[in-house]
Structure 1
Amino acid sequence: MAISDLELPPGVFARTYATPQALAEAQAIAVAEALRIAIESRGQATLVVSGGRSPIAFFEALAQQPLHWHKVTISLADERWVPINHASSNEGLVRRHLLRGPAVDARFLGLYRLASSLQQAAELADASLVELQPIDVLVLGMGDDGHTASLFPNSPNLELALQLDCPHRVLPMQAPSEPAERLSLTLPLLSAARLSLLAIQGSDKLATLRAALAGSDVASMPIRAVLHSPLEIYWCP
């Protein structure tokens, strides 16, 4: 099975790379070029990225791209509700692997907030993102269950988060694995990105993508909510 065998919606393009490193480097070049165009057009650019282990090579490649980084604002599609120095923190990951070298001059808007509850943390993060400009480039991943960002199937707030008129920028979400408590951007922000990139690796993720493209129930596979133009899918075996 190859990604070229998939029937993609109009305006959705797929690219195949031989290795994870080749994918990361190509993705970094594409993201930097899109940010460069945004800066030339609007004087600034907004990049929203996802966490996990897969993006590390991409972050490190992107950090070295020549760019007016002081004109770039970086934020997160989702976050685990853990302190920034926790090994699972997406903000910690970004600070270690992306906000370095030339990219150290970028502005960062994180989602984690110290609060008495996950709900309160989400409300604080939501309020802070009033400063977030429309997303120029959104970089997403996908889980084997079809989740993206922290929009997990069966999460209590999923139905609200997937509404295109959702009044919240950030909602508390529950993941099926530890750490279960998460914060996630909602669909209005995610779907309005000027360009989205989805990076996946391996045959299992390709099979998940195939299943997502074959159906329409967004609640069972939230990735379906973002499988529309303009989207570029980056895959390697």
Structure 2
Amino acid sequence: MANWSDPRTTPSGLGGAAAGAQDVAFDAGLRSYMLSVYNYMASGVLLTGLVAMAFAWGGADSMAAKILINGGILRYVVMFAPLIFVMVLSFGINRLSTAQAQGLFWAYAVTMGLSLSSIFLMYTGASIAQTFFATAAAFAGLSLYGYTTKKDLSGFGTFLIMGVVGLFVAMLINIFLKSTVMDLAISAIGVLLFAGLTAYDTQKIKSIYAYVAGTDMMGKTVVMGALSLYLDFINMFLFLLRFMGSSRN
């Protein structure tokens, strides 16, 4: 859900053999572009997972336990650092070089791993693995739908983003209410919202290719596309984990 444009169009053809050749070249370029997006996204998720496991290694004696539970102000640095990276990438992408955007993406994946290491202290490894594979299967299906559907999903974008804003407001409120029923409702809505955003973002990323193909912006849009899908995957995983996760206590 990065802060970037949302076109829903395809390039115009010429006609006859020229149009056919242009379409073939465009399709090949689009496949390569989307593969790059998915490679970055999947590598980012893998890096986050490896960092989270390493940081949480040792359970109660791990660095994760010492910092995220007893780390004082350092705890909040680790927790909120990923948000800073997202804001820099989302709002500063036009001023960044492709190499800088890529570096920030990898740094973001590492800081997210540090932040998410706490789930290995809260849930069993088996339930985390089960939830991860369930999320991966759902993500693959939803992203495939977003890529192949002829239906314009842009109309759902505003609704979904407003829903996410409302969801996080509800989460803040529930910190004080501590309502179990509200927590379950938030988790269910969160899964649905980020499922919808997976399809929406995939179609948006696909559409943007028509505008950036062959330009200097293509490398940066690959990173931003990967970031959007990464956020969709991670959030869907975390909300689903609240249903499927088995507590260590």
Q: Same fold (TM over 0.5)?
A: no
Bin the TM-score by the shorter chain. Answer: under 0.3
Which is higher, the Rg of structure 1 or of structure 2?
Answer: 2
- More strand by proportion, 1 or 2? 1
Larger relative contact order (Cα-Cα within 8 Å, sequence gap ≥ 6): 2
TM-score by length of 2: 0.24
